Amino acid sequence: MLSKSFNPAEVEPALYAGWEAVGAFGADAAAARPFTIMIPPPNVTGSLHMGHALTMTLQDVLIRWRRMQGRDALWQPGTDHAGIATQMVVERLLARTSNQTRQEIGREAFLERVWQWKASSGGAITEQLRRLGASLDWARERFTMDEGLSDAVREVFVTLHREGLIYRDRRLVNWDPKFQSAISDLEVEAREVRGSLWHVRYPIEGTDEFITVATTRPETMLGDTAVAVHPDDERYRRLVGRHAILPLTGRRIPVVADSYSDPEKGTGAVKITPAHDFNDFAVGQRHGLPMPSVLDREGRVTLADLDLPPTADFVRSLAGQDRVEARKAIVAELERLGLLDRIEPHTHQVPHGDRSGVPIEPLLTTQWYCNAAELARPAIAAVEAGDTAFVPRQWENTFFAWMRDIQPWCISRQLWWGHRIPAWYGPDGHVFVERTEAEAQAAARAHYGRDEPLERDPDVLDTWFSSALWPFSTLGWPQDTPELARYYPGDVLVTGHDIIFFWVARMMMMGLHFRKRVPFRTVYIHGLVRDERGQKMSKSKGNVIDPLDLIDTYGTDALRFTVCALTGPGRDIKLGAAGVEGNRRFVTKLWNAARFCEMNGIVPAPDFDPAAARSPLCRWLLDAANRMVTEADAALEAFRFDDYAAAAYRFTWHSFCDWFLEFAKPVLGTAGPDAAELRATAAHVLGVILRVLHPAMPFVTEHLWDEMGYGAPCSLIRAPWPQPGPVADPGAVREELDWVVRLIGAVRGVRSEMQIAPAVLTPILLRDATPETTGRAARWAESIHRMARASSVEPLDGPLPPGSAQIVVDEATVVLPLAGVIDLGAERARLFKERAKALAEAEKVLRKLGNAEFVAKARPEVVEENRSRLAAFQDDAARIEAAISRIAS
């Protein structure tokens, strides 16, 4: 017996364990065609947030659906080592527990601590994915720092290096002073900052003139090596080619003409500091300028690159000062020297580290780079050719725009936690890139002719470097495994648009380079989760919703179904507790419907053949179920999770519960062949509902399936996905039942409008009804009585009983004798309104048909349709007119 209400908290863990116990999540290379989704590996430090809940639900829906279709479904689980994030977590822990820094305990000990942390706390996210019902093939779980995946990383690095696609270069990088590491362009985000524009006068050599430069960064002026003006700027033309004397250091720097300088901005003259600004770096390259660094890796002033005159005491005093302090000191000194023209308030975009949140310092360093432009070419071609398709399509433009202008990818990080770069340096700095230290030593021996001590590069790789290999490294590459042959390329990648550049693009590049085939055929891009008001969720705003709270309160199925219902193409998802609460009602509805079935002896009848169903009600329901399955299937094929959810919802609640079960009620509990067929049909269709809803609501459906005896415990997850099947003459039963539904609806409408108490039963009289209609009325008399609160249903030939309400349904006029119950004036007013509506519609169609051009040019079937609509409206109006005249007296 099903309990009175569904208790998710009780049922969910047991079902999940049950699925795992029967091996339901495991991919199974029997004969079936594979269907593969690679999980976007969550950070090992992560905990489940709404973004995960969204993306993982969608993936699980696809996986469960395909699995039920009989595909060999592999949903590959795993986590990402998340270099910076994890290192920070463990560093904080170290500080808290033993008040030590990682530098104090040293690299080796620190890494040991990270691994310890991972072993004890790293599994939280995977436990939470289980609560979400995610049917991942846990036996295959991988971690980006696993031995196998690390092998893949080394293999890729070494290979790309040999191909010249990975190389070292000294150029400007985005330096994160907080993490003391280089980061890639993608990890930098522009933030608007209110600052100042300082106008500083630089004396022109040999004159008493000045050139005034406007700058947002006075502290870097020690490293200026030019002043740039626009070549067309008349104001400065005569100064081009002359020299300015850089204040404070006294260095002689040229005034150069470069179109980088914008005459509209500031004074039109800009100071050029090639070692501390990306644009200035480009100017410096164009003009062959020196590039002294004046800030070190911690953002402090360094004077090592400067050739200072003995008098520059002020500048010397800056050595070692933080960039913020140095700015203050320099501005004060310029002020003192009378070289500060003015200070203008100025709002501008300042690059910040996306994780550290501190301003990025462009710094001239040597780093490892990957030639992304070269790798991007085949990836662009593959998307152009349709080998990989984005859904929705528009994201291809975003992908193309990024890939066609892709910059060298800085892949080295000055961190400890990550894949150590497989490069070793000889005493003379010669680099050996090899898979192992032994191979590096062998290479060194060959190079030097003797053994030499080697030093390994201390840096690690960008976390995204290993993520880029995920679609094949998880399958055993570089080994040539059967899994690799079977599950690569994957079918669908599901992710948010914020990850296209970081991950999708890089998987495309690496997949094509190393496997010669795209890593996935479809990239489904969903929106981002926001709060009910459309605000981005953030801790500082305090509007973060914890999916685990929602699961605790409403159950996993309600949350998952809500996610599906809200996921249309190209839209962000605005999710609040109210929506989840609403969908919990649907879970409850399904529960109660099943309970009702159970009470009425509805048990699965495996021998039931829908094609042989005879009763019109059964055929009507089976036909509607067919259409629902077709809709749901098409929606999932098209990644329309919202349409899928809506089709299942509508059918379950309205077709099955509101109409079918209501029609069936009196017969269900009885004996006899009609009742038996009804019960078998109900059981069959409930089974269809459970199967169609299972991907979205796995727990309640599986529980009902098991409890009601549809299959062995935990068998719904692998039950076959329903297929539409033949139903005898569906058109006829649809017409018949639709009429009954229309009639009951019309009567209910009028009764409600006329405020007839439900306890009042009235006869239903049909005037001008065809024999077909009276036949239907007779056949469905019992249902009509019950559902339209009628005492009888019969034709009316004679005069109208006094005090009747009249409703036009098709060709017939439905008469409700309500003498003494209704207000005839109100009924007359209602009929006038009805008539006006019909006439207005008729008028609209008439005008259209009166347009000769419409009749001549519109498609004939459209014209025909309008002609019959006109006739229908006119007939309705005439029948309402007749109804009015019948009560006129």
Choose between 306 and 545: whose C-beta lies nearer to RNA: 545
Choose between 300 and 589: whose C-beta lies nearer to RNA: 589
Choose between 492 and 645: whose C-beta lies nearer to RNA: 645
Helices (H), 555-603: 556-566, 577-599
* CA–CA separation, 92 and 121 (whole Å): 14
Choose between 582 and 713: whose C-beta lies nearer to RNA: 582
Q: At what angle do helices 673-693 and 641-650 cross, to 10 degrees?
A: 160
Q: How far is the CB of 637 from RNA (least distance, A)?
A: 15
Choose between 70 and 569: whose C-beta lies nearer to RNA: 569
Choose between 130 and 748: whose C-beta lies nearer to RNA: 748
Partners of 461 in the β-ladder: 412
Choose between 139 and 401: whose C-beta lies nearer to RNA: 401
Choose between 39 and 747: whose C-beta lies nearer to RNA: 747
Q: How far is the CB of 665 from RNA (least distance, A)?
A: 7
Choose between 397 and 479: whose C-beta lies nearer to RNA: 397
Read off the tokens for 677.
């067929």
Left (φ > 0), alpha (ψ -120 to 50) or beta: where does 36 sit?
beta
Q: How far is the CB of 549 from RNA (least distance, A)?
A: 18
Q: For residue 691, give the nearest of 642, 631, 737, 648 by alpha carbon.
A: 648
Helices (H), 419-515: 437-448, 463-467, 470-473, 482-487, 505-515
Place of tokens 């280089």: 182
* CA–CA separation, 741 and 747 (whole Å): 10
Q: How far is the CB of 302 from RNA (least distance, A)?
A: 28
* CA–CA separation, 554 and 501 (whole Å): 35
DSSP 751-804: HHHTT--TT--EEEEEES--HHHHHHHHHTHHHHHHHTTEEEEEEE-SPPPTTE
Choose between 314 and 854: whose C-beta lies nearer to RNA: 854
Q: How far is the CB of 829 from RNA (least distance, A)?
A: 13
* CA–CA separation, 355 and 178 (whole Å): 10
Contact residues toward RNA (CB under 7 A) are 5, 185-186, 189-190, 349, 394, 397-398, 401-402, 498, 501, 532-534, 536, 566, 568-572, 574, 578, 582, 584-585, 587-589, 592-593, 595-596, 599, 642-643, 646, 653, 657-658, 661-662, 745, 748-749, 752-753, 755, 757-759, 848, 851, 853-854, 857-859, 862, 865-866, 869
Q: Is 711 helix (H, G, I), strand (E, B) or coil?
A: coil
Read off the tokens for 220.
């870097």
Q: How far is the CB of 195 from RNA (least distance, A)?
A: 15
Are the C-beta atoms of 198 and 215 separated by less than 8 Å? yes
Q: How far is the CB of 57 from RNA (least distance, A)?
A: 17
Residue 211 backbone phi and psi in degrees, to 5: -115, 130
Q: Is 214 helix (H, G, I), strand (E, B) or coil?
A: strand
Q: For residue 562, give the nearest of 647, 652, 646 by alpha carbon.
A: 646
Q: How far is the CB of 563 from RNA (least distance, A)?
A: 12
Q: How far is the CB of 142 from RNA (least distance, A)?
A: 28
Q: How far is the CB of 51 from RNA (least distance, A)?
A: 14
Q: Which amino acid is at 391?
A: V
Q: How far is the CB of 658 from RNA (least distance, A)?
A: 4
Q: How far is the CB of 590 from RNA (least distance, A)?
A: 8
The 3-state DSSP composition of the chain as helix, strand, coil percent (nearest 5) reads: 50, 20, 35
Place of tokens 């199925």: 557
Q: For residue 270, give the nearest of 227, 225, 232 by alpha carbon.
A: 227
Q: How far is the CB of 768 from RNA (least distance, A)?
A: 22
- Cis peptide bond N-terminal to 290, omega within 30: no
Choose between 90 and 602: whose C-beta lies nearer to RNA: 602
Choose between 512 and 645: whose C-beta lies nearer to RNA: 645
Are the C-beta atoms of 472 and 514 separated by less than 8 Å? yes
Q: How far is the CB of 297 from RNA (least distance, A)?
A: 23
Max CA pair span of the chain: 122
Are the C-beta atoms of 787 and 816 separated by less than 8 Å? no
Q: How far is the CB of 53 from RNA (least distance, A)?
A: 17
Q: Which residues contact 607 (CB under 8 A, 6 or more apart)?
A: none
Choose between 178 and 869: whose C-beta lies nearer to RNA: 869
* CA–CA separation, 887 and 805 (whole Å): 9
Q: Which residues contact 38 (CB under 8 A, 6 or more apart)?
A: 76, 470, 471, 474, 490, 493, 519, 520
Place of tokens 């199967």: 691
Choose between 192 and 208: whose C-beta lies nearer to RNA: 192
Q: How many CA atoms lie within 13 A of 802 on its CB side?
A: 3
As a residue count, the chain comes to 889
Choose between 222 and 689: whose C-beta lies nearer to RNA: 689
Helices (H), 600-694: 616-637, 641-650, 662-668, 673-693
Q: How far is the CB of 74 from RNA (least distance, A)?
A: 31
Are the C-beta atoms of 388 and 523 separated by less than 8 Å? yes
Choose between 311 and 851: whose C-beta lies nearer to RNA: 851
